Amino acid sequence: MEWSLFFNSLIGIIAILNPIGNMPIFMEHVENETPKVQQTVAVMMALSIFILMLVFFLFGNRILGMFGITLPAFRLAGSIMILLVGLRMLQGKSKFENHGIETAAVSGDTFDQARNSLSHILVPVGMPLFIGPGTITTVILYSEKSADITYFLMMIIALFLSACLVGIVLLSSNYIFEKIGRNGTQIVVRFMGMILCAIAMQFMIDGIAQLLPGVLNTAFIHTGH
């Protein structure tokens, strides 16, 4: 297994999840909750993100098969979608322009309140803010490279680590936002957007290579595990 492919997958997933860029949106939706409830919601959100990514990683190709979509076609379509997300991030545009919703206060312990809050914000914060078309595309495309059992397990680890990072960022959202401010957030978002654009171009190169074998320089194609 190529460790570079694993780290490329990890960075790609983290980039498309964009935890720093999505952090202000999360804060808007839980700003009326107590700190303990906010932290519990952050952990639940990270767990939900991991489960959703795992589902698409395990069954995404079967879903494609049901609709008769070939992998090269989906790879090329996915590369365009990821490129658009990256370009939007480079321009510093948020996915949502509306303000956060207020969650109704409920009785019960911290876990019950957090579960109620999560039920209100899983859509749109969980999907499609974190798990949007770009994330689904990225996870499915990486799953196509996972015929080797070692890389398959490492990809699951990459999904878990990515979700953990999202959880850490959300848990630290108040502290991070105060430290880096809106300007710092924009810098991070645009840097991750540049990485996404590069990953999208790599997907496009790989897709064209599948359609036109022997035409492109194999040194720039990711075909191994």
Task: Check if the beta carbon of residue 29 is closer than 8 Å to that of residue 178.
Answer: no
- CA 57/CA 153 separation, integer angstroms: 11
Please tell me whether the overall predicted TM-score, pTM, comes out greater than 0.85 for this model: no
**pLDDT digits 0-9 by tens, 28-76:** 778 778 888 889 999 999 999 999 999 989 998 787 788 887 767 777 8
- pLDDT at 101 (0 to 100): 40
Residue 103's CB: how many other CB atoms inside 10 A?
Answer: 20
CB 146 within 8 A of CB 58: no
- pLDDT tens digits for range 172-190: 987 877 787 777 777 877 8
Span 122-170, pLDDT tens digits? 877 788 678 877 788 888 888 877 778 888 899 999 999 999 999 999 9
Closest CA to 138 of 10, 2, 21: 10
Who contacts 142 (Cβ-Cβ below 8 Å, separation ≥6)? 9, 12, 13, 57, 155
pLDDT score for 219: 60
* pLDDT band at residue 2 using 50, 70 and 90 as cut-offs: low
Say yes or no to pLDDT of 223 above 70: no
pLDDT-derived band at 92, boundaries 50, 70, 90: low
